[in-house]
Homo-oligomer: A and B are copies of this chain.
Amino acid sequence: MLSDIDICRTAPLQSIQAIAEKAGLQPSEYQSQGRHKAKVSLQSVKRLQHAQTGKLVVITAITPTPLGEGKTVTTIALAQGMQKLSRSVMACIRQPSMGPIFGVKGGAAGGGYSQVAPMDQLNLHLTGDIHAVTAAHNLAAAAIDARLYHEERLGYADFEHRSGLKALRIDNQQVTWKRVMDHNDRALRMITVGQNESGKTINGFERHDGFDISAASELMAILALAQDLQDLRKRIGQIVVAYTLDGEPVTTEDLQVAGAMTVCMKDAIEPTLMQTLEGVPTLIHSGPFANIAHGNSSIIADNIATKLADYTITEGGFGSDMGFEKACNIKAQVSGKSPDCAVIVATLRGLKANSGLYDLRPGQAIPDTLIQPDSQALIAGFTNLKWHIDNVNQYGIPAVVAINRFPQDTDEEIQQLIELIHALPNKVDVALSEGFAKGGQGTLDLAQKVIAQCESSAISTFTPLYKLTDTLEDKLSAVAIKGYGASRINLSEQAQQQLLRLTEQGFANLAVCLAKTPLSITTDSQVKGAPKDFIVDIRELKLCAGAGFIYALCGNVMTMPGLPEKPAFMSLDIDENGEIVGLS
């Protein structure tokens, strides 16, 4: 089989005008960005506000291995399959971060014959949205350090006299807004800024700081949750970036930088239209993490797609305990639009990894034995799939299992998995997903089953796990107990104090976002399968007042990846014709 970039390069792509027309956009509602990308105006949603809203299908997965189970490829393949069944369909995916592309995993455009194309344009820069997030984020960081510097240098009274501004009296030990960069740059995790040569203070005041990767910016979560430009402006102004010496929150509005940040992100609010290899119109928009943020592509993209198409296929990061939980409890509670059907992607490899019979460690290669047939491991790991089916169903959402088939998977083992699923008490549909090798043709059965579930779910029975009006502690417990199956949460002393302070300061009505390992349903990446009676330890709470949630750190969550010994960038280059080589 050809490499991803070679498949993509030789595919006969349509002009973006043709794709936009096919999607139902009017010429005034999009602006082409070269031949194969377009920015889509939010005017399209306004025009279609009275049109019927299409079905929303969310692709989720079993508890994944670090290699992933193939959600993006299934998302694109399913959309292509639906198109082959003559349905009106669009896909909505997140924008890939460049850090991991240069670091370890290569591109994130799907793969094989189920890709968004051109994949190099999707993976590199796209239409600049992540750069805009980075720029707006770091503008606020520069504003904070400049204010600290001038207020401390001049003294508060002199500062006020000279600038005509009110001194903010920011506590330089309580700046919560770090800087961001779209690279895997380990050395920037913990830094000291504002250093000076002996005795001078011309470079600001020295303090500890650090960089996160841009996808971890609260602005990325805000971009994914905003309803329109004015809502973006409002949310940006609500971001708390620091605390004063009196412990009061300091917002970007206080710094008078929220307007400029919004200006910086004015184009980023428009989703980017592209196409799959089979010409399905696809919107790419935002890319929040699925641990410290909600891990789903944007509400704006969904709003456009569900008005234009009968079926919108999108995905949430990691397993159904992660991105899908947040799609239901965070995203749907903001958008008012809940998923009509969930597709749970499972692989033989991933289920066997969930058996607990293999020694798997994050950052290490998956053992070869895992791709050998192993009936016992499959049965043991199957408990994990069953858990995810039950989890999806508890939200009142029907589930279809998609078995993402790899070339080395045997017919016997696939058949064994299908029989295990058929034997479940709650009748659940299952279909193969062979989109990587066959494109939409490889998901016709899956597409039919998803359509059937969507058509049968005319009356929404959607039930989120909590109401926003519940207390913060109740909301955290709801996710841990109902969402993960834990027995209870355990707040550290620090988290308890933070919970009190956040409640006092009026943030109790926000959603909660648990940041934990995706490699287990529990907070311990070594615990596989479908564990019970575990405790969710919450170390620290972090406020994202602009995004509208408080995230809870359960264990260590890495917000700035590092480069491995032999990074992926080493194989990237241009050839003698100026074409990109080495991107996969």
Contacts and interface: CB of A to CB of B under 8 A. Distances in A.
Contacts of A262: 573-574
B266 A580 contact: yes
Given A34-B33, A102-B260, A138-B183, A569 B39 contact: no
Interface string A202-235: 1111001100000000000000000001100100
Contact of A186 (B131, B132, B204): B204
Nearest to A581: B259
Given A139-B102, A185-B141, A574-B262, A190 B203 contact: yes
A527 interface: no
Most buried by B among A134, A187, A260: A187
A158 to B, nearest CB: 10
Contact of A164 (B138, B186, B566): B566
Contacts of A188: 193
A427 interface: no
A466 interface: no
A196 B562 CA distance: 14
A191 interface: yes
Contacts of A182: 135
A396 interface: no
A120 B138 CA distance: 20
Given A128-B125, A146-B186, A573 B263 contact: yes
Interface string A172-201: 000000000111111111111111110000
B165 A187 contact: no
B185 A145 contact: yes
Contact of A128 (B131, B139, B187, B576): B131
A149 interface: yes
Contacts of A566: 163-165
A570 B256 contact: yes
A171 interface: no
Contact of A143 (B132, B159, B267, B563): B563
A66 to B, nearest CB: 18
A209 B257 CA distance: 27
B574 A150 contact: no
A245 to B, nearest CB: 19
A254 to B, nearest CB: 11
A150 B102 CA distance: 17
Given A185-B138, A195-B191, A562 B259 contact: no
Contacts of A102: 139, 260
Interface in A391-422: none
Most buried by B among A139, A143, A149, A195: A139
Contacts of A578: 229-230, 266
Interface in A135-164: 135, 138-139, 141-143, 145-146, 149-150, 154, 159, 162-164
A131 B125 CA distance: 9
Given A31-B34, A125-B267, A565-B162, A149 B187 contact: yes
A182 B131 CA distance: 11
A192 B194 contact: no
A267 B183 CA distance: 19
